[in-house]
Structure formats: C-alpha cells, structure tokens
Amino acid sequence: MATTDQDKRVALVTGASRGIGKAVAMRLAADGRHVVLVSRTEGPLSEVKALIEEAGGSASCKAADIGDGAAWQSAVEEVISDEGRLDILVNNAGITRDNLMLRMSDDEWQSVIDVNLRAAFIACRTAARSMMRGKFGRIVNIGSTSGVIGNSGQANYAAAKAGLIGMTKSIARELGGKGITANVIAPGFIQTDMTSNLPESVVETVRKSTACSRLGTVDDIAAAVSYVSSDGAGYLTGQTICVDGGLTMC
C-alpha cells in the first residue's frame, strides 16, 4: 500500500548540518521519513535540505541552540505543532571540551553536560507526549564508546555520554508499554570534523586496536540508526549498541 504524506513518519535529528547527523538525516529521508533538521544556524541546514530534496526526500529546517534549555524545549514544541506529530527523535548533536580532570573548568564541565545530556533529556520529555498520542516512538540517543569505557581528558564528555545510557534505559522502561523504544547508538572513532584534528599517531593506535582495522564512516552510524528507528525494531529497547568496528566489544 502506498504511503501518503499524512502517514509519513516524522523524524527530528539534532546536529544535522554535518558529520554523523547529516548522514543520519539523509538516511532517514531515504527511508521515507520527513526529516526535521536541527542545528544552531539555518544556512548549513538549508544545504542538507536541498540534498535530501534532490534525492526525492522531504525535510524542513529548525535553527535552535540546544544548549539553551528553555529555548530548546520551545523549539521541539514548535516542531511538533508545525508537523502535527513526532515519531522518531535522534539526539545526535554533541560537543567536546576536552581537558585533563585536574585542569577542567566548571564551564568546560557544564557546557558539555548541557549540550550532550540535558538537551537530550529535554527533547525526550517533550517528544514523548506526542509519541504517546501516536502509540509509536523511536528515541535514538547518540552516545560514544567514551561513555562506556571512559577516556582520558574527557571526564565531562564521558559523564554526559554515560548519563545518556542510564537515562535511555530508564525511558525505555517507562515508555516500552506504549510502543516507544529508546536506545543508544555509541560510535567508536568516526571520520568527522570532531575527530579531524587528532594526531596521526592517535589515529594509528585506534586503527590497530579496532577489529575492523579502520575508522568508522558516518554511513556506518546512519545504518544503525536506520535500523533502530524502523517499525521492525519494536522489540529492541534499552540497549547500547557500540558501532565501533570491534574497538570495545563490551
């Protein structure tokens, strides 16, 4: 049976202007979702929207600073009101402010917690009401292997990403009976702007410790998000799936 625009699932992807978020948005659009692209500024989002439309998909843009809690909550509410529904939420946007714990400032700590953890909580809380009305939802939080095994210089980032795991499990328990799943996709080392400044020696060490002997691509992550956000993944919830080429195996 053909899908009409009315029953097209609506997905919101944060940090969709580049890197993993852009690849996830393009993949979900190729899967037939209407994708709401979120990032701080509209310009780069319009380019992603144009790419999606050129490929025959549909998307809209929402500029928002997810680090500003009240403004972010209003932005998610506006998306739900504009689109009439929200079925898939991908909390992908993230930042790093790396420093050794002894040197880490309160600001470095708090800004990473606000963007990587609190923003995801706000979006989940706001989206869940709409998902409950539709008796369907897929929450996908983009974590990191740093949140599973820790990483020197990333006490703030690892705490936020580990926090996402606990939060996701709790949400999965609260909403599982309502047709809503919640999972974490935890990437290992993926080639994006976030990792482009790493010294070659670090990249080589990572490559050697990775069973697949390579860094990941953004499409490796998009493929995993595509599956956990699909209608067929309704019995998969509360999980942390490390898409890391076998780096951690835990």
Tell me which residues are annotated as active site.
Answer: 157
For residue 70, the surrounding DSSP H or E stretch is: helix 69-83
CA dist 77 to 33, 54, 57, 92, 94, Å? 19, 28, 23, 18, 21
CB of 79 to ligand NAI, least distance (A): 13
C-beta of 130 vs 192, nearer to ligand NAI = 192
C-beta of 58 vs 151, nearer to ligand NAI = 151
C-beta of 144 vs 237, nearer to ligand NAI = 144
C-beta of 143 vs 235, nearer to ligand NAI = 143
In sequence order, the 6+-apart residues with CB closer than 8 A to the CB of 58 are: 8, 29, 34, 35, 52
- Residue among 132, 227, 218 at smallest CA distance from 176: 132
Contact criterion met (CB below 8 Å) for 184 and 239: yes
Output the CA torsion 165→87→218→161 (10° steps).
Answer: -20
If DSSP codes are grouped into helix, strand and coil, which group holds residue 68? coil
- Residue 172 identity (one-letter amino acid): A
- Residue 208 identity (one-letter amino acid): K
CA dist 149 to 37, 80, 154, 186, Å? 30, 36, 11, 11
CB of 132 to ligand NAI, least distance (A): 25
What are the two backbone dihedrals, phi and then psi, of residue 22, each rounded to the nearest 5 degrees?
A: -65, -45
CB of 185 to ligand NAI, least distance (A): 9
CB of 170 to ligand NAI, least distance (A): 19
CB of 187 to ligand NAI, least distance (A): 4
Interaction site with ligand NAI (CB under 6 A): 14-15, 17-21, 39-40, 65-67, 92-95, 115, 142, 144, 187, 189-190, 192-195
C-beta of 4 vs 201, nearer to ligand NAI = 201
Give strand ranges (E) for 79-193: 88-91, 137-142, 180-187
